[in-house]
Chain A
Amino acid sequence: MAAVRIPPTLRAEVGGARQLEARGETVADVLDDLVERHPALGPQLLADGELAPFVNVFVGGEDIRTLDGTDTPVRNGDSLILLPAMAGG
């Protein structure tokens, strides 16, 4: 199980939760598990079945684009952060 931090921009899609537990061996699996249980997240996270280019995912504080992308392995107890761009000031 990994802990996934849900950004405020996506909380409406998951019933207001700030953090969710999700299963998976890789980032792609974890996101699939989340989207399966919270289908409203789909269009916010994925484009053509791939991670959308405007969504940043961090595992253990590192951007998965600098690791193995959505193939980055996720270990039990890892923390994932979904980081959206926010413009408010």
Chain B
Amino acid sequence: MAGYRELLARVRSEIEEISTIEAHERHTAPDAPLFVDVREPDEWEEGHIPGAVYTGRGRLEQRIEGLVPDKARPLVVYCSAGSRSAFAAKALEELGYLDVVNLAAGFSDWKRNGFDVTIPRVLSTEQRARYSRHLLIPEVGEDGQQRLLDARVLLVGAGGLGSPASLYLAAAGVGKLGIVDADVVDESNLQRQIVHATDRLGEPKVLSAKRTVEALNPDVRVVPYQERLTSENVDRILGEGWDVIVDGADNFPTRYLVNDASVWHGIPVVHGSIFRFEGQVTVFAPGKGPCYRCLFPKPPPPELAPSCAEGGVLGVLPGIIGSIQANEALKLILDRGDSLAGRLLLFDALGTTLDEVVVRRDPDCPVCGEHPTITEYIDYVEFCNAVSLN
């Protein structure tokens, strides 16, 4: 039976090792290998090699294929002094990883050389419990959760679409939610606007939503804007700094205002709209994909735009579309997956069918095209009022 020293010596002789200096050179090269930290969680939290991924030695075999699906990807494994990572390197080779090297003198030697170290921001014990199902997903993990906590999302509308979107974004830990809505909670809202409640009737929607969202997750700060988005206030509100806008407005003038402002402020918009049994959802990413005006250059005439109360909507439909909007917003924040930019989903709740159409950037678009003809905000007439006045 070999003792620990003999076993370690044998494993080290069977794997590739590199010096700290060489590891540092490879770390700064353009095609840098992935550094895999196999120390204990508290060691990682005190500092690690920049860009490294973390998986403790204990769960290495279980987790590595999720973290690194490509077995040909070059890996540098490290612990504090090169022993634990030697066994880890051996295990990775046995799992089929083709290019694994051990950082022979470990992270302590990396630090002694004065090389860069990242000190991670750490989730609290409560956050670790709250977001545990996110932390288990390789595409989110601790880095992704920190991104969500740092993220700022502006919700235009606290109605049918804004309700599920705000709830799911808050539950996911998006740190700052701005909510723009001038209305108060009305009885006719409660059939679908699940962020509000019967005891909130008459209360401003933004304050009702703030109460619900902050009760759901104290990590979230809600900034209420109890005003209607107009050409007068849109630059002030968008200028406060948002990573993503979730458009759940209920009228065309606001839709076009959100679009034009988002193009000029360079903020992606997750767009959703609903009518009766049908929903549309897409992403408008300025500079990368089409905008709302590439698809609909100008609003339809008011008499052909049944957008408001008279149309009716199945209560669950905004739940589905607003949840897809939350999903797109989270992916944009996490920079994961394929967004709906350039694609529009059409959901039909009656047939339970989902169609997809391609939306292309229009070089002649009046706002984001090569020669824009719209360069300042337009206050369109209020459609619903126009219809009722007619």
- A88 engages B357 (CB within 8 Å): no
- A84 engages B249 (CB within 8 Å): no
- Distance, CA A86 to CA B210, complexed state (A): 27
- Which residues of B, 348-376, contact A by the 8 Å Cβ criterion? 348, 350-351, 355-360, 362
- How far is the CB of B350 from the nearest CB of chain A, in Å? 7
Contacts of A9 in B (CB 8 A): 275, 304, 306, 311
- B280 engages A86 (CB within 8 Å): yes
- A88 engages B355 (CB within 8 Å): no
- A87 engages B157 (CB within 8 Å): no
Contacts of B318 in A (CB 8 A): 89
B250-284 vs A, CB cutoff 8 Å, 1 = contact: the mask equals 11100100000000000000001111111010000
**Count of residues in A whose CB is under 8 Å from the partner chain:** 25
- A7 engages B360 (CB within 8 Å): no
- How far is the CB of A38 from the nearest CB of chain B, in Å? 16
A38-64 vs B, CB cutoff 8 Å, 1 = contact: the mask equals 000001100000001110101001110
- B249 engages A87 (CB within 8 Å): yes
- Distance, CA A9 to CA B307, complexed state (A): 9
- A18 engages B274 (CB within 8 Å): no
Overall SS of chain A's interface: mixed
A87-B305 contact, Cβ under 8 Å, with A8-B277, A18-B351, A54-B296: yes
Of the candidates A5, A61, A84, the one whose C-beta lies within 8 Å of that of B300 is A84
Contacts of B355 in A (CB 8 A): 5, 61, 81
- How far is the CB of A33 from the nearest CB of chain B, in Å? 21
A62-82 vs B, CB cutoff 8 Å, 1 = contact: the mask equals 110110000000000000010
Contacts of A53 in B (CB 8 A): 297-298
- B350 engages A18 (CB within 8 Å): yes
- A62 engages B275 (CB within 8 Å): no
- How far is the CB of A11 from the nearest CB of chain B, in Å? 8
- B360 engages A54 (CB within 8 Å): no
Contacts of B252 in A (CB 8 A): 85, 87
- Distance, CA A89 to CA B158, complexed state (A): 9
Of the candidates A8, A66, A87, the one whose C-beta lies within 8 Å of that of B360 is A66
Contacts of A18 in B (CB 8 A): 348, 350-351
Contacts of A86 in B (CB 8 A): 273-275, 278, 280, 307
- Distance, CA A83 to CA B272, complexed state (A): 14
Contacts of A56 in B (CB 8 A): 295-296
Q: A5, A9, A56, A85 — which one has the most chain B CB atoms within 10 A of its CB?
A: A85
- Distance, CA A66 to CA B344, complexed state (A): 15
Q: A52, A58, A88 — which one has the most chain B CB atoms within 10 A of its CB?
A: A88
- Distance, CA A13 to CA B350, complexed state (A): 18
Known contacts A44-B304, A63-B359, A88-B274; 11 additional CB pairs below 8 A are A56-B295, A63-B295, A83-B346, A83-B357, A86-B280, A87-B251, A87-B308, A88-B250, A89-B159, A89-B247, A89-B273
A-B contact pairs, 14 of them (CB 8 A): A5-B355, A8-B277, A8-B278, A53-B297, A54-B301, A58-B358, A63-B358, A85-B295, A85-B296, A85-B300, A87-B273, A88-B311, A89-B161, A89-B249
Residues of B bordering A, CB below 8 Å: 157, 159-162, 247-252, 255, 272-278, 280, 295-301, 304-308, 311, 313, 318, 344, 346, 348, 350-351, 355-360, 362, 383
Residues of A bordering B, CB below 8 Å: 5, 7-9, 18, 43-44, 52-54, 56, 58, 61-63, 65-66, 81, 83-89
